[in-house]
Amino acid sequence: MFFCGIWAILRSSTGEYAKATQTVQARLTLLPGDGIGPEIVAQAERVLRTVAERCGHEFSYTSGPIGGNAIDDFGTPLPDDTLAACRDSDAILLGAVGGPKWDDPNAKTRPEIGLLSLRKELQLFANLRPVAPRPQLLDASPLKREIVEGVDILFVRELTGGIYFGESGRRELDEGEEAYNEMKYSTPEIARVVRVAAEAARGRGGRLTSVDKANVLEVSRLWRSVAADVVANEFSDLQYDVVLVDAMAMHLISRPRDFDVVVTGNMFGDILTDEASMLPGSLGLLPSASLGESGPGLYEPIHGSAPDIAGKGIANPLATILASAMLLRHSLQLEDEAVLIESAVDAVLESGARTADIAAGGPSIGTAEMGDRVIAALQA
């Protein structure tokens, strides 16, 4: 039997005690974005509405433009109204931004700036990416089944600091020019993201791995010592180790099962999470969450706007639907409802339903039908 999330103990007129679900009210901002974004967010919204109805919650929805479509209509990839709606909400669900139409390297602005600005404005410093290949799709992975089976890693990537936000530029030399990007992290920036990862490890397998390049980079030496202090002082119950980023790149494809929660900086996390996204075999299945110390979290699939299939009705909506499960879990503390969605996705995959990206050339269904199947599983 399935139970909905937050419980209250009620006493009836006859004096008997009973448990009843508490209604959770939440304001959700939907940012469909570009390409397949609107198609996949529409399915995730249907799923959220179904869960809310089934569990007696009251979610209200606001939509806003972001990315390329916002550049077209408002001249900026993150209009003020969109940012204000996001600030005013409990959680944000994003599709994807970008596409060839806005790829001109000489353009004044780009769709991705909208997303980077949103993360920065809301101080979403911790990016959580669970990588757990679904048992029904193990053979979709380019790696052998015996390596991928049982993998369950949560990556926690620092998202608002490091080399992507350091000073950058070019300077003329006597001969040619040089370009530079500054990489820096402060003690508080490191400590807060390590705490998020350590808390997550406590709720999972109790193991935390910090990834750095401390044999070469001063920034990594500070990262390593701050991480060690945080764990020793606040999370001594965890099994903790450190791995160099180059070694981690190998371990991820040779023994990925050995990792539970992995915490790392912005650039290393960017690269390692893309590598890890190959473990489950399809981009269309991986969600992510970006969280700050307070305020709304941002939830999105890890894939892009897939312009090659936009408008065809064949995009896989499951990563976005799984992102909506993360939204319920992390922003609304509705763990049972999150599990309800994840179980529905598993049931649909178990039944053999596949969108084209995971069908391995076999029969496939479209975006809306995949949404229908998940909703039917939720209502079963």
| Spatial distance between the Cα atoms of 148 and 169, rounded to a whole number of angstroms | 41
Residue among 28, 84, 36 at smallest CA distance from 59:
28
The question of whether 258 is a catalytic residue gets the answer: no
Q: For ligand NAD, give the closer residue by CB, 5 or 99.
A: 99
Q: Which stretch binds ligand NAD (CB under 6 A): 96-104, 131-139, 170-178, 253-261?
A: 96-104
Is residue 315 close enough to count as binding ligand NAD by CB under 6 A?
yes
Q: For ligand NAD, give the closer residue by CB, 12 or 106.
A: 106
Taking CA atoms, 244 is separated from 91, 236, 330, 338, in Å, by 34, 22, 29, 34
The question of whether 260 is a catalytic residue gets the answer: no
Q: How many residues bind ligand NAD (CB under 6 A)?
A: 22
Q: Which stretch binds ligand NAD (CB under 6 A): 57-65, 80-88, 222-230, 299-307?
A: 299-307
Is residue 99 close enough to count as binding ligand NAD by CB under 6 A?
yes
Residue 207 amino acid letter:
R
Is residue 306 close enough to count as binding ligand NAD by CB under 6 A?
yes
CB of 291 to ligand NAD, least distance (A): 16
| Spatial distance between the Cα atoms of 320 and 93, rounded to a whole number of angstroms | 8
| Spatial distance between the Cα atoms of 27 and 90, rounded to a whole number of angstroms | 5
Residues 6 to 65: which contact ligand NAD by CB under 6 A? 36, 40
The question of whether 274 is a catalytic residue gets the answer: yes
Q: Which stretch binds ligand NAD (CB under 6 A): 144-152, 250-258, 296-304, 326-334?
A: 296-304
Is residue 115 close enough to count as binding ligand NAD by CB under 6 A?
yes
Residues 339 to 358: which contact ligand NAD by CB under 6 A? 357
Is residue 284 close enough to count as binding ligand NAD by CB under 6 A?
yes
Is residue 287 close enough to count as binding ligand NAD by CB under 6 A?
no
Residue 38 amino acid letter:
P
- The catalytically annotated residue of 90, 185, 213, 357 is 213
- The catalytically annotated residue of 72, 103, 246, 258 is 246
CB of 255 to ligand NAD, least distance (A): 27
Is residue 283 close enough to count as binding ligand NAD by CB under 6 A?
yes
CB of 283 to ligand NAD, least distance (A): 5
The question of whether 184 is a catalytic residue gets the answer: no
Is residue 374 close enough to count as binding ligand NAD by CB under 6 A?
no
- Show which residues are catalytic: 164, 213, 246, 270, 274
Please report, as ranges, the residues that interact with ligand NAD according to CB under 6 A: 36, 40, 96-99, 112, 115, 283-284, 300, 303-309, 315-316, 319, 357
